Amino acid sequence: MNKIPVETFDTPELAVAKLAAETAELIRSNDAAGKPTVLGLATGATPIRYYQELIRLHKEEGLSFQNVITFNLDEYAGLPREHKESYWFFMHHNLFDHIDIKPENINLPSGTVSDAEIPAHCEEYEQAIIDAGGIDQQILGIGRTGHIGFNEPGSPKDSLTRAITLDEITREDAAPAFDGIDNVPTAAITMGCGTILAAKRIVLMAWGEGKASIVQKAVQGPVNDIVSASYLQEHDNAVFYIDQPASTEL
């Protein structure tokens, strides 16, 4: 039995069309009420189609991001913004450069703060989310370790934004993009599980048979710190949007 709502779609395209429409409705509703919309955003292959659909809604249907504030989940430690594998670069290449969002409304953890500066940087990130009014809609993918953000196995449910050591499985998955595992950073700064769970609405996307096993653990398994996505079972407004192959073990 599923312990969290799951919507299964024939294709990822159908899933992202529904999700992007939900995001657009949220933005337009808040615009009409004179309120900003605060989005929590993810990186990786999973959300790219979603970002493409948001860009289409902006260019073809006039969806404006002028009053949208974004907070990204994470960033690799040691990567400057211009590095092609930095999440700053990823987000601008795949979304921000193609919509009318204000640069000052874009928030990502920094990959280049010194070790001594990390605690203060993480506290400032948490405070910026609070000052923005909290996250209205948080978008997630899921890693093979079950991580949301970079909350690797052992991450407490109430954890906040912090530095984290990356699991070897996570680094192996990133190795092709970095031309080998030796080039993959060993650490990152990530929103904590508690930070993510504070969002008003959470949508986790997963595509393909390779995600079927970890989706099953997150949705139907025990809630524990081994699979941080399992914490979503205890959120009152979270849902999984998955394609048919990702649903095969449910």
Sequence-ordered alpha helix ranges (H) in 114-246: 118-131, 168-174, 193-197, 212-220
Strand partners, 37: 68
Residue written as tokens 């079950």? 146
Token pair in block for residue 98 = 């193609």
Residue written as tokens 């030796």? 182
Active site residues: 152
As a whole number of angstroms, the distance between CA 205 and CA 217 comes to 15
Residue 122: which of 158, 74, 154 has the closest Cα? 74
Token pair in block for residue 103 = 């640069």
Backbone angles phi, psi at 34, to 5 degrees: 75, 25
As a whole number of angstroms, the distance between CA 154 and CA 228 comes to 8
As a whole number of angstroms, the distance between CA 8 and CA 179 comes to 34
